[in-house]
């Protein structure tokens, strides 16, 4: 991507624990916005994600360079912002740490290396942290799907049928609105949706996290 495209605003969008247990996993809800004047397009530029580092208590020394990763939307026009759930693992050694959250162009550069401001917050890592029983259960938060400006998402090309596909396991896409209708029809609700790169650059595909009513 052009250097001036690596400009993101990252903010805390939910509660952050003051203390976590050593080596434990936890998640933080963040908001990220494309603060540049360029469109981030993963099909053309490669994978983009939100990630974190662990620094010592003064923020001067890197303790863990790479920890959690959450993929970003595949196409992000200027000004678009949305919530991201970032899972991370606390260091094994107790003490005070600075958590640094930054956007990354995988294999190329962290955004902060191009002048973008990373998010930092203090966190204490303890040997044992007592938490209410309810907080130990997996928690899913319902996030709305961002509204894209008209014409931002790629339009599938229509090609004449050349007969049945080769192989015995053809894969067909299902429209997002149809998936959401099926979820509602069965009395469930969408807890979280993220864009998924595994279908390849020619697809804008999604991974759905659904909660039933049981």
- Strand pairing of 95-105 and 109-110? antiparallel
Token code pair at residue 59: 């923020």
pLDDT in tens, 74-131: 889 999 999 999 999 999 999 999 999 999 999 899 999 999 999 999 999 998 776 5
Q: What is the pLDDT of residue 135?
A: 43
| Residue-range definition of the domain harbouring residue 91 | 7-130
Our measurement of the distance from residue 99's CA atom to the centroid of its chain's CA atoms, rounded to an integer in Å, reads 17
Strands (E), 153-202: 189-196
Q: How many domains does the chain have?
A: 2
Token reading at 93: 């050694």
Residue 136 lies in a domain: no
Percent of the chain with pLDDT over 70: 78
Sorted by sequence, the CB contacts under 8 Å of residue 14 that are 6+ apart come out as 28, 29, 30, 141
Per-residue pLDDT tens digits for 25-69: 999 999 999 999 999 998 889 899 999 999 999 999 999 988 999
Question: Do 44 and 110 sit in the same domain of this protein?
Answer: yes
In a domain? residue 145:
no
User: Are 212 and 106 in the same domain?
Assistant: no
CB 97 within 8 A of CB 55: yes
């Amino acid at each position: 991507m052009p250097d001036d495209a690596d400009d993101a605003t990252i903010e805390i969008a939910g509660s952050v624990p003051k203390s976590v247990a050593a080596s434990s996993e936890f998640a933080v809800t963040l908001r990220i916005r494309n603060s540049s004047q360029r469109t981030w397009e993963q099909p053309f530029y490669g994978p983009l994600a939100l990630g974190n580092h662990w620094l010592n208590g003064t923020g001067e020394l890197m303790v863990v360079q790479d920890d959690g990763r959450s993929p970003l939307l595949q196409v992000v026009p200027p000004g678009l912002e949305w919530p991201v759930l970032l899972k991370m693992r606390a260091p094994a050694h107790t003490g005070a740490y600075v958590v640094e959250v930054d956007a990354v162009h995988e294999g190329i550069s962290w955004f902060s290396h191009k002048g973008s401001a990373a998010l930092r917050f203090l966190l204490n890592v303890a040997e044992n942290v007592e938490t209410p029983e309810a907080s130990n259960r997996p928690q899913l938060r319902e996030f709305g799907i961002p509204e894209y400006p008209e014409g931002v998402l790629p339009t599938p090309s229509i090609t004449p049928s050349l007969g049945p596909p080769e192989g015995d396991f053809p894969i067909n896409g299902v429209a997002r609105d149809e998936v959401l209708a099926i979820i509602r029809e069965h009395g469930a609700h969408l807890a979280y949706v993220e864009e998924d790169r595994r279908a390849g650059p020619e697809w804008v595909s999604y991974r759905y996290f659904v909660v039933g009513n049981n």
